[in-house]
């Protein structure tokens, strides 16, 4: 007999999504790069923040609900996704730790900051690298797939939990939007040196998260071999 989740269980499931994903997404770490891409113009910042939030919502919801089936279609196990995602997250963090003036993203931004951006330009530049891999990278996608894989299979329970999880994804995206929307003000308060320090600190945290994701996937693969 199917038992509907209580209000406490629903709130727990609702909080699980942002509490799990936000430490991995860590929009504060992407704020400096976002500011360099969007510039200081409030209108441009708002457009970029909104588009990145929309992109992230579709990626998160798609990973939550169809990610498992895509993996099954290609015969890829979740531990493998964690290992691959951990490697890519760690690699991205390492590049951020060694971020220099000759970085191709920064160079491209400097060349284009003075140009007016069309709607198409905003969509393109918000997708890469702001949305992927900076905000919703492989580690985030792998985690979202893992959350989606834990949804119940009974139709009624699945529908309720799916709505709760979708709302959790929306809350996560709202936090991303608010951080990026106010990224210019945050960077201005920190100053050039403060922004550099925060970027390096967040890159190190991201490196640790990537290693943790990699280690979790490796441990799951070893556990499967042992059985």
Domain presence at residue 9: no
Please say if the pLDDT value at position 119 is more than 50. yes
For residues 125 and 106, what is the distance between their CA atoms, to the nearest angstrom? 13
Please count the other Cβ atoms lying within 10 Å of the Cβ belonging to residue 165: 23
Domain presence at residue 1: no
DSSP per-residue codes, 95-154: HHHT--TT-HHHHHHHHHTTSPP-HHHHHHHIIIIIIIIIIS-HHHHHHHHHHHHTS-SS
Domain presence at residue 7: no
Highest mean pLDDT among 63-72, 83-92, 135-144: 63-72
Q: How confident is the model at residue 177 (pLDDT cuts 50, 70, 90)?
A: very high
Q: What angle separates helix 138-149 from helix 155-181, to the nearest 10 degrees?
A: 160
Q: Which domain holds residue 202?
A: 21-226
Domain presence at residue 158: yes
Highest mean pLDDT among 29-33, 39-43, 47-51: 47-51
Domain presence at residue 2: no
Please say if the pLDDT value at position 42 is more than 60. yes
pLDDT tens per residue, range 179-221: 999 988 887 787 777 777 777 777 787 788 778 878 888 898 8
Domain presence at residue 150: yes
DSSP per-residue codes, 24-37: HH-HHHHHHHHHHH
Could you give the number of structural domains in the chain?
1
Domain presence at residue 5: no
- pTM value > 0.75: no
- C-alpha distances (whole Å) from 157 to each of 129, 141, 171, 186 are 37, 23, 21, 42
Please say if the pLDDT value at position 111 is more than 60. no
Q: How confident is the model at residue 103 (pLDDT cuts 50, 70, 90)?
A: low
pLDDT score at 63: 93
For residues 73 and 214, what is the distance between their CA atoms, to the nearest angstrom? 23
The reply to whether omega before 209 is within 30° of 0 (cis) is no
Domain presence at residue 16: no
Which of 10-24, 76-90, 109-123 comes out lowest in average pLDDT? 109-123
**Considering only CA atoms, which of 215, 202, 178 is closest in space to residue 23?**
202
């Amino acid at each position: 007999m199917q038992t509907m989740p209580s209000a406490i269980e629903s709130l727990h499931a609702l909080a699980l999504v942002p509490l799990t994903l936000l430490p991995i997404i860590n929009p504060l770490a992407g704020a400096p790069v976002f500011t360099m891409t969007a510039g200081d113009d409030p209108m441009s910042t708002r457009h970029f923040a909104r588009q990145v939030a929309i992109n992230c919502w579709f990626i998160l919801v798609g990973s939550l609900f169809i990610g498992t089936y895509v993996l099954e279609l290609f015969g890829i196990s979740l531990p493998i996704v964690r290992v691959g995602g951990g490697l890519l997250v760690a690699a991205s963090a390492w590049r951020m730790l060694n971020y220099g003036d000759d970085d191709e993203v920064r160079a491209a931004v400097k060349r284009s900051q003075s140009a007016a951006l069309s709607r198409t330009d905003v969509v393109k530049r918000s997708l890469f690298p702001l949305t992927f891999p900076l905000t919703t990278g492989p580690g985030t996608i792998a985690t979202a797939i893992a959350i989606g894989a834990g949804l119940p299979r009974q139709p009624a329970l699945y529908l309720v939990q799916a709505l709760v999880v979708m709302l959790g994804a929306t809350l996560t995206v709202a936090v991303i939007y608010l951080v990026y929307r106010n990224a210019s003000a945050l960077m201005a308060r920190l100053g050039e040196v403060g922004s550099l320090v925060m970027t390096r600190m967040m890159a190190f945290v991201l490196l640790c998260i990537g290693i943790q994701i990699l280690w979790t996937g490796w441990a799951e693969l070893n556990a499967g071999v042992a059985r």
